[in-house]
Amino acid sequence: MKSISNMVVQLGGICGTNDLSEWEEGFVDSMFDYYDSGKLSDLSEKQLDILIHLYKKHFGDYEHEVPS
């Protein structure tokens, strides 16, 4: 099971390539702002859904339980 921080780091690794659209790259960059400030737990449900969608799109299946 990948952690949210690992997903952000992996997606960040493909920034600057042709794999991400301009919008996707901007989104991943904004996730690094949360990552750098230690506030990934502050992501909204929609942000988390988009992050997981991008991860699945670029790296395949993903299993993650969102803590309640």
Question: Domain locations in the chain?
Answer: 4-59
Distance CA 37, CA 23 (A): 22
pLDDT digits (tens, 9 = 90+) for 4-60: 999 999 999 999 999 999 999 999 999 999 999 999 999 999 999 999 999 999 998
**Which pTM value belongs to this model?**
0.82
Do 35 and 8 touch, CB atoms closer than 8 A? yes
